[in-house]
Structure 1
């Protein structure tokens, strides 16, 4: 199980996200914990009012809504009753016992998962401390629940695929602007908040994995002239499709100006540890025999790293971007060092491919060279007369053997290499 925590200052947005999923048939509200009515008997505003009554008790705390998602392995088919029990135990263990909450089961991904919407403002007006809760209390609770319910442990999974977002469904996105906007908004909220990127191309490297791009417009366009930004859906070939949506139309307004401010802060969050993890993964992939970029990309996937290749209109590769979904970091190859740039990686892949053909006969080649060397020396007859040989005849005799490059011994016999000992000089006593 993987527990992910999101906190914000808008209960309405958290609740609306889940309720919209219910309307489109992609989710179901399983339970309303500590509510006076069942979830099925309440509308949106009744669900929201219960939580807002608590947040009204504490006006100083701006971050007053909490949104958890508990993600399970694709092989785990848990009943609704089990999901309800796990949700209640999880909230109790992290200090949210007795807090009203709404439990949703989502069906929009390849793995089972549930969402919990609640508030950190208690009935006495005090706020539950959220600092490092996702890293500390939530992880302790997760491990205990895994053992108690016999779930697959997240720590033993090499691939954290259930942490990945679901790509936008292009076919549905083309039908209307509202569906497109909702699909883009869900990905933007998760990527911009969680991933560490330091430029628009790096952000697009992540968004592109989910069929979305942030577009500044073409040269000379009105969007580019006014430093605007629109978001668009991409098809499977990477072509822009559907209706472009202005950044200012989204709730969080991820405009170019706001993103540029984030670039500086997110760059500072990248650490040497993040760089080392990707570099080690690339080195190991090449050692395992990745002979081209597609092979390297496939080898990196089990480590939770996507390789994004940047090409120009003519198909020429000019850059590589690494997206680490485990550490939520994005690096250009040049940021990791010259050995991880596009040019260097292509050369390293080529060297691996070239060495594969030599691997089988490498030892035989060495042995052959050794035999040739010995044969070159053994073929010489010490008693042979060379007086009558022509100057240009370098293919026979002692002179030919020494001057012929193909017969030049690479390894000399150890007796020939042994240094001659100097005789010890005897000193006779004076007469």
Structure 2
């Protein structure tokens, strides 16, 4: 189970979002806790007024509304009764057991999930502290509930499996309508809160895997000048298709301002995971003879690291992005260090080519010695393009004495 907690200043917008889902037939309100009337007898106004009355007791609270989503593995199919019990247990464990809250079961995604609407103003007007509630209360509660109800555990499961992405099926999207927004929204809910990215290109590196792109527009555009952001669906050729949708039109409001806050927090959080990617790259070069970034990319896939090669229209490699699906971190190559940038990787590939040439032609020194040769490294920098171009024919430099001799077969006549 995965729990996501969001806070807001407007309980009205949160409640409207869930009630509109009910009207569309893709959600159902399955529980109303700490309300004076039964769920069937509650009108929209009565649901809203219960929250507004509590909010009025503390007008100094800037964020008094809480929206929680509880997400389950696609393989799980729980009854309404069990889902209500899970929601009640979770709310009790995070300190909201005495608060009024509404539980909605949504059916608009590829996995079962609940939305819980509540507020954090108590009957005495005191505010329930939301600072670090995810770390201090939600995470321990989630783990306990997974054990208590026998749920699929969020931690560790994906690392043991081969990671695979399911891009948005753009062929089924009706562009410009709610279906487009729904398709993009399901991707945003997964990527924005699961992955750690430090800038818009890093975020797009992941979104593009799902055929979604976040676009600020050109510098001369009104969108760019107003710090706006558009989300687009991409076709099979990674070209925008359909009608772009403003960030403000999504419930989670993944605007540029929101993303800039994520960039700062993510940058600090993902520093500890740099070593994992760097070690995987170094190990790849140590174990294999890598002549090109493309070959390195295939090797890293085995470690659930997606390596994106950014090339110019002329086909020249100018940048690399690494998406580590195990740690959910995205790194620009240069942020890991010079040797992990596009130029650094190309130089390492060129060194491999030259080392093999020397090894097979002269048999003078070992590969490890050659890799540390300052003159060889300087030669690589000066002749990088030429060396890489002959990389595909590196086996042509292998002298005959090192090529495997074919054994002659002798057949006796009958």
**TM-score higher than 0.5:** yes
Q: CA deviation at 1:286?
A: 6.2
* 2:279 is the alignment partner of 1:277: no
Q: CA deviation at 1:140?
A: 1.6
Secondary structure of 1:95's aligned partner: coil
- Inter-CA distance 150–218: structure 2 relative to 1 (3 Å threshold): closer
- Inter-CA distance 252–151: structure 2 relative to 1 (3 Å threshold): closer
- 2:5 is matched with which residue? 5
- Inter-CA distance 63–328: structure 2 relative to 1 (3 Å threshold): farther
Structure 2: how far apart are the matches of 1:353 and 1:50?
72
Using the size of structure 1 for normalisation, the TM-score is 0.66
Structure 1: how far apart are the matches of 2:251 and 2:3?
25
- 1:295 is matched with which residue? 298
Structure 2: how far apart are the matches of 1:335 and 1:297?
18
* 2:63 is the alignment partner of 1:63: yes
- Inter-CA distance 347–103: structure 2 relative to 1 (3 Å threshold): farther
Structure 2: how far apart are the matches of 1:29 and 1:290?
58
Secondary structure of 1:36's aligned partner: coil
Q: Computing the radius of gyration over CA atoms, which structure comes out larger, 1 or 2? A: 1
Task: Give the conservation status (yes or no) of the 8 Å contact 1:214–1:230.
Answer: yes
Task: Give the conservation status (yes or no) of the 8 Å contact 1:232–1:240.
Answer: yes
- 1:244 is matched with which residue? 244
Using the size of structure 2 for normalisation, the TM-score is 0.69
Q: CA deviation at 1:234?
A: 1.5
Paired residues in the alignment total: 354
Deviates more, 1:148-157 or 1:122-131: 148-157
Structure 2: how far apart are the matches of 1:290 and 1:61?
61
Q: CA deviation at 1:229?
A: 4.5
Secondary structure of 1:52's aligned partner: helix
Pairing of 1:117-266 with structure 2 (within 5 A): 117-159=117-159, 168=168, 170-171=170-171, 173-181=173-181, 183-184=183-184, 196-217=196-217, 229-246=229-246, 258=257, 262=261, 265-266=264-265
Secondary structure of 2:19's aligned partner: helix
- 1:111 is matched with which residue? 111
- Inter-CA distance 55–339: structure 2 relative to 1 (3 Å threshold): same
Q: CA deviation at 1:208?
A: 2.1
Structure 1: how far apart are the matches of 2:100 and 2:244?
39
- Inter-CA distance 167–92: structure 2 relative to 1 (3 Å threshold): farther
Secondary structure of 1:30's aligned partner: strand
Pairing of 1:369-408 with structure 2 (within 5 A): none
Structure 1: how far apart are the matches of 2:160 and 2:45?
36
Secondary structure of 2:214's aligned partner: strand
Structure 2: how far apart are the matches of 1:260 and 1:113?
24
Q: CA deviation at 1:273?
A: 0.7
Structure 2: how far apart are the matches of 1:123 and 1:180?
41
Deviates more, 1:199-208 or 1:260-269: 260-269
Secondary structure of 1:76's aligned partner: coil
- 2:378 is matched with which residue? none
Task: Give the conservation status (yes or no) of the 8 Å contact 1:230–1:245.
Answer: yes
Task: Give the conservation status (yes or no) of the 8 Å contact 1:103–1:114.
Answer: yes
Provide Cα deviations, 1:119-159, integer angstroms capped at 9, x if missing partner: 11112211111122211212222222222222333334243
Secondary structure of 2:134's aligned partner: coil
Provide Cα deviations, 1:255-288, integer angstroms capped at 9, x if missing partner: 66x4796487347535531322332444556677
Structure 2: how far apart are the matches of 1:255 and 1:88?
32
Task: Give the conservation status (yes or no) of the 8 Å contact 2:109–2:186.
Answer: no
- Inter-CA distance 250–71: structure 2 relative to 1 (3 Å threshold): closer
Structure 1: state its 5+ residue gaps: 356-365, 367-405, 408-431
- Inter-CA distance 87–340: structure 2 relative to 1 (3 Å threshold): same
Structure 1: how far apart are the matches of 2:130 and 2:36?
26
Pairing of 1:78-117 with structure 2 (within 5 A): 78-117=78-117
